[in-house]
Amino acid sequence: MKKLIYAIYILFFCLMAFTFYKAFSVNDGLIEESYYKRSKQYFLDRKAEEILGFVATLNDSFTVGKNTVSVKLAIEDSPLQNANVILSIGNVSTTRYDSVYSMSERYPGSYTADAELPVIGRWIVKLDIEHPAIRTHRTWDIKIER
């Protein structure tokens, strides 16, 4: 009976050690630094956007390869001009294809950048928008299929 209890203890500690090893060796990339402050700021930003009537519209046609990413920005139905817009694109399954682009204003309130999406799968498209009237970001989840 003692041998069985010792075996159970040894098994328990081995499984516990393996659990700790696995937990610290696997990083799924979903950890958000300063999440409380960021979430608080997120809600303040959304309230400011609502008051200003801010709208961001992303084009919805993406394929494997080179894409022209365009976004239209407006406040109260008038184009948001002369904004500093940064485009960040990353594949959900790997950081290998993450890239950052500076978007240029082609027309009033319409910003574009050429981006490379080399593989099929889910991608996160994030815009960081800075303007004297508003400073915010938008995130979209897109899926590229064959």
Burial degree of 144 (CB within 10 A; 0-12, 13-18, 19+) = middle
Report whether 125 contacts 58 (CB < 8 A).
yes
Q: In this predicted structure, what is the pLDDT of residue 27?
A: 62
Please give the average per-residue pLDDT across 27-43, as a whole number: 74
Q: In this predicted structure, what is the pLDDT of residue 31?
A: 61
Structural domain contains residue 130: yes
Q: For residue 47, give its domain range.
A: 38-144
CATH classification at residue 49: 2.60.40.1220
Structural domain contains residue 3: no
Count structural domains, the chain: 1
State pLDDT tens for residues 49-64: 899 899 999 998 899 9
Q: Residue 78 above 70 pLDDT? A: yes
State pLDDT tens for residues 87-142: 999 998 888 899 999 999 999 999 999 999 999 999 999 999 999 988 888 999 99
Structural domain contains residue 114: yes
Structural domain contains residue 61: yes
